[in-house]
Amino acid sequence: MTFVLALAALAAFVAAVIQRITGLGFVLVLIGPIVALFGPVEGVTIGVLLALVASSSAVPLVWRQVEWGRTWWLIWPGLIAAPFGALLIRLLPEAALLLLIAAMAYFALIAGWIPALSASLRGRPGAVVAGSAAGFMHVASGLSGPALAAYAVGDKWEQRRFAASVQVIFVVFSAVSVALRGLPVSPIPDVWILVAATVAGIIVGTLLTRFVPPRVARTAMLTIAWAGATVVLVRGILALLF
């Protein structure tokens, strides 16, 4: 296993552990390391594939808590908006893609601090807006969680049911993203190692849910995500300049 692959596998494992404990944050944790290691196109392509694995592994564990009505009203607008995200990544050069991913990551980190955003996302109109934004962002960067979380707060969605329902949404959006972006071009054995690391993270995260408070996992998620977003931003600026 190469050093780069080992780092990527570690990032996928940690992201999956945090995802299982908090219900969110897989790509937010993963995006910085994976883009720094593989670049903006291949990195996000790997990220959405692993997000599909992570959410698919988690869905059977939370199936009974899923609220299908709300879930559907977030999914279908995202399916309509998703192709526009795919078009965007084909039009932008690498430097612009890096800056876009960094901007989306920073937005993901500060969205929860904008009360007006959550307050405006209520009922079915709010679900259409949030779902559209999430579908677009998932294909472009894998970062669909903030729009969905903002809707959950605005619509007063009970946390446990939201955390379960969002796994189904992530499965659908990730599958669509893989279909639109294509599979990673990295060697197949390397991809399988990353998939195995993700599944292992979900299993370990399931075991740790009894011992690790969600607050601790969220703190770790935010720390890693801020660092990762900054790394991607710096890489984008350097690519733009040189």
Cβ neighbors of 54 (< 8 A, separation 6 or more) are 15, 16, 19, 26, 170, 198, 201, 202
Distance CA 145, CA 88 (A): 19
Q: Give the pLDDT confidence of 75-133 residue by residue, as tens digits.
A: 999 999 999 999 999 999 989 999 999 898 888 888 767 777 777 788 889 999 999 99
pLDDT at 1 over 70: no
> Is residue 37 within 8 Å of residue 184, measured between CB atoms?
no
Note the pLDDT of residue 57: 86
Note the pLDDT of residue 112: 67
Domain that holds residue 139: 3-241
Q: How many domains does the chain have?
A: 1
Q: Give the pLDDT confidence of 154-205 residue by residue, as tens digits.
A: 888 888 898 889 999 999 999 999 999 999 999 999 999 999 999 999 999 9
Q: What is the DSSP letter of 221?
A: H
